[in-house]
Amino acid sequence: MSESYADTLNDLTPEPTGARRVVVLISGNGSNLQALIDEQTHDRLGGEIVAVISNVADAYGLQRARDAGIDAVVLPHGEYDSRDAYDIALIKVIERHEPDLVILAGFMRILSSRFVQRFHGRMLNIHPSLLPAYRGLNTHAKALADGVAEHGCSVHFVTEELDGGPVAIQAVVKVSEGETEASLKEKVHAREHLIYPIAVKWFLEGRLRLEGDAAILDGTTLPPHGLRLSHADAAEELDEE
Ligand code: GRF
């Protein structure tokens, strides 16, 4: 082969860049996981979900992963004596998949500080409230009981403070007359499926990062509530009445 032909071939051979690798942790239904899988299927995620890990053996999300041809792993917490022992095992399983990003999508476990520190700056969670309002569980019932006008969901970096890390994006839902916990939950869930893929894509494209106590998007420090998708914009996107 002449030298010039070899040079041309080298020019045409793409560098092995490798897609950014994502591991998703779930405990249940996995509708947020499905939203991410759907984006991946359309080549819009900006990376590849390489494994889904569940602490619950019959979590439906595992089936969603298998259906999409993604490695589905069960790591039952009941088989470990302590939170720390479980988290050490979980870290090992996650690291085997060499993720750039760890996504919590309905992973119903309190995380040890060892675990949180290990994935600092590269772990996101979705929470069903407009943080910092209503950290923890039963957010829809609490919002209704308080009679708030607006509720919603938030994607945030995971830090040691429960549901307390810097927020990247939120979506708002107006609480209507006669709203029930079920109807509110459904509207919030639909918004979760809109904003989680957006935040994940930002991260995987290198646009979103954690710096100190702040989420940075395209070099600009985001406000404490992150970017906000208004009720009207979300409703339009979702074709809601
Ligand atoms: C969502 O409401 C999310 O906000 C919370 O857990 C739930 C998971 O739902 N962290 P799914 O399993 O993705 O359907």
Chain segment 171-181, per-residue pLDDT in tens: 999 999 999 99
Question: Which structure tokens are listed for 59?
Answer: 């979590």
- Taking the CA of residue 26 as reference, the ligand 1 atom at the shortest distance is 12
Nearest CA to ligand 1 atom 14: 31
pLDDT at 5 over 50: no
**What is the per-residue pLDDT for 176?**
96
Q: Does the annotation mark 127 as catalytic?
A: yes
Nearest CA to ligand 1 atom 6: 106
pLDDT at 183 over 80: yes
**What is the per-residue pLDDT for 45?**
97
**What is the per-residue pLDDT for 71?**
98
Distance, CA 11 to ligand 1 centroid (Å)? 46
Does residue 47 have its Cβ closer than 6 Å to ligand 1? no
pLDDT at 119 over 90: yes
pLDDT at 3 over 80: no
Does residue 126 have its Cβ closer than 6 Å to ligand 1? yes
pLDDT at 123 over 90: yes
Element (H, E) at 234: helix 231-237
pLDDT at 234 over 70: yes
Q: Smallest Cα–Cα separation from 31: which of 66, 60, 74?
A: 60
- What is the value of pTM for the model shown? 0.92
Q: Tell me, what amino acid is at 196?
A: Y
Instruction: Report how far residue 37's alpha carbon sits from residue 64's, in angstroms, rounded to the nearest whole number.
Output: 9
Instruction: Report how far residue 129's alpha carbon sits from residue 152's, in angstroms, rounded to the nearest whole number.
Output: 5
Which SS3 state, helix, strand or coil, does residue 180 take?
A: coil
Q: Give pairs for 137-140: CB < 8 Å, separation 24+.
A: 140/181, 140/184, 140/185, 140/188
Active-site residue (options: 42, 97, 120, 127):
127
Which SS3 state, helix, strand or coil, does residue 139 take?
A: helix
Question: Which structure tokens are listed for 17?
Answer: 């860049």
Judged by average pLDDT, the poorest of 16-25, 71-80, 109-118, 195-204 is 16-25
Distance, CA 107 to ligand 1 centroid (Å)? 8
Average pLDDT over residues 29-35: 98
Nearest CA to ligand 1 atom 8: 106
pLDDT at 197 over 60: yes
